[in-house]
Amino acid sequence: MSAAFALRGLTAAVPGDKGPVRLVEDVSLEVDAGETLAVVGESGSGKTVTFTSALGLLPRPGRVIAGEAMLDGVDLLKLPAEDLRCMRGARIGMVFQDPLTGLNPVFRIGDQIAEVLRAHQPVSRRAARDRAVELLRRVQIPDPARRIDDYPHQFSGGMRQRVLIAMAIALGPRVLIADEPTTALDVTVQAQVLDLLGDLRRADGMAMVLITHDLGVVARQADRVAVMYAGRVVETGTVEQVFRAPRHPYTVALFRSMPDLDAPAGSMLAPIAGSPPDPARRPAGCAFAPRCLVADDLMACRSETPRLRGAPHAAACHRLDEREPTA
């Protein structure tokens, strides 16, 4: 049994004054066909860098210094640049936060979708256009045969994100990576776009990675969750395991700090004191120790990096065993 998409020990760095600065370190994650893995964590925790690194999209001078990114048994990081570019369009779909950056303002929507198809497959102009209309229909854009000749500025933010989703699924990818796909949208539109992603994932049996900082979204959409802090995965498990009994003190703090879709308006939030470390100045030991309420010098919290253990509900905390078996 192997996952549709799996990262193993992924480590990416940028050059620094005192050698490489690791932006993400030893990240291992996997997602099966038809499953949604949510990746959560404060801003700056390494969510975006993890996936841009895995797909060969980390801007220079950043580079992957260790690890694998396996898609159906092929390590993307070992592919020649041209093959990887091809994989990215065809086998891996990507949807990013800002629906404007992904579209070219001077070309019609239909031509941009057709371009994605024609870049990977020998299809006639006519056939590409028909497929583009069909794709717009799949992402629930009303009157697609007419809208296909519109320009991006004639679409609302939510509709533009739907167009980008259509482009991402155009070639039937095995994996869809959505990086905060609704952050730039109105609250009312967010749920619709997320529902659409969920429907497409189920219909096509895609593996989906959903990067989000909205725990309500995780609860509603995901099967499993990975919590990142300071460039590392600090907890993974099923959504039920992690929500019912979070095992890492950071996850516990994160739950207290974040608004939940189901929480009554005005419920108390407790921001996590302090801020995440700069990647160049990560403390020795557990990177969360300076903000952790249970960090203990006797437990190596400030001297050794804790390993993820306890799978299938794993956490990287030196004090894990003491706090069990509360879960």
Ligand X SMILES: Nc1ncnc2c1ncn2[C@@H]1O[C@H](COP(=O)(O)OP(=O)(O)O)[C@@H](O)[C@H]1O
Chain positions contacting Mg ion, by CB under 5 A: 47-48
d(CA 318, CA 298): 10
Decide which of ligand X, Mg ion, none touches 181; Cβ closer than 5 to 8 Å per partner kind.
none
Which residues are within 8 A (CB) of 194 and not within 5 positions of it... i.e. 6 or more apart? Answer: 181, 182, 217, 220, 221
Q: How many other CB atoms sit within 10 Å of the CB of residue 248?
A: 27
Query: Does residue 62 interact with ligand X by CB under 6 A?
Result: yes
- Residue 282's SS3 state is coil
Among 6, 10, 30, 44, binds ligand X (CB under 6 A): 44
CB 276 within 8 A of CB 230: yes
CB of 62 to ligand X, least distance (A): 5
Cα–Cα dist 263/121, whole Å: 47
CA dist., res. 207 & res. 115, Å (int)? 24
Question: At closest approach, how far in Å is the CB of 197 from ligand X?
Answer: 18
What's the closest the beta carbon of residue 48 comes to Mg ion, in angstroms? 3
Q: What residues form DSSP beta bridges with 147?
A: none
Q: Which is nearer to Mg ion, 121 or 275 (CB)?
A: 275
Q: CB of 108: closest distance to ligand X in angstroms? A: 32
**In this structure, what token pair is assigned to residue 312?**
């299938």
The one of ligand X, Mg ion, none whose footprint includes residue 22, by CB under 5 to 8 A per kind, is none
C-alpha dist (Å) from residue 238 to 31, 169, 216:
12, 26, 15
Residue with Cβ nearer ligand X (23 or 38): 23
**Per rule CB under 6 A, is residue 181 in the interface with ligand X?**
no
CA 245 – CA 125 distance, rounded (Å): 54
The stretches of 19-80 forming alpha helices (DSSP H) are: 47-54
Contact 7, 68 (CB under 8 A): yes
Binding partner of residue 19 among ligand X, Mg ion, none, CB cut-off 5 to 8 Å per kind: none
Query: No. of H helices and E strands in the chain?
Result: 11, 11
Question: In the bound complex, what is the minimum distance in angstroms from residue 24's beta carbon to ligand X?
Answer: 7
- Is the alpha carbon torsion for 162, 168, 171, 176 positive or negative? negative
Query: Using CA atoms, how far apart are residues 117 and 115, in angstroms rounded to an integer?
Result: 5
Long-range contacts of 238-243 (CB under 8 A, 24+ apart): 238/312, 238/313, 239/38, 241/312, 241/313, 241/327, 242/313, 243/215, 243/218, 243/219
CB 39, min distance to ligand X, A: 8
The CB-of-255 to Mg ion minimum distance in angstroms stands at 20
Element (H, E) at 276: none
If the CB atoms of residues 41 and 249 are measured against ligand X, the closer one turns out to be 41
Read off the tokens for 69: 């990114």
Residue 161 is a binding residue for ligand X (CB under 6 A) = no
Q: Which of residues 19, 59, 73, 105 is near ligand X by CB under 6 A? A: 59
Q: How far is the CB of 98 from Mg ion (least distance, A)?
A: 11
Residue 182 engages ligand X in binding (rule: CB under 6 A)? no
Nearer CB in complex with ligand X: 59/142: 59
Could you tell which of ligand X, Mg ion, none binds residue 279, using a CB distance below 5 to 8 A set by kind? Answer: ligand X
Report the partner that residue 46 touches, choosing among Mg ion, ligand X, none (CB closer than 5 to 8 A by kind).
Answer: ligand X
Our CB check for Mg ion shows the closer of 225 and 299 to be 225
The entry of ligand X, Mg ion, none that residue 14 binds, CB within 5 to 8 Å by partner kind: ligand X
Q: Does residue 101 belong to the site contacting ligand X (CB under 6 A)? A: no
Q: Is residue 272 a contact point for ligand X (CB under 6 A)?
A: no
What is the contact mask toward ligand X in residues 19 to 38, using x (rule: CB under 6 A)? ----x---------------
Residues at the interface with ligand X (CB under 6 A):
14, 23, 41, 43-49, 59, 62, 279
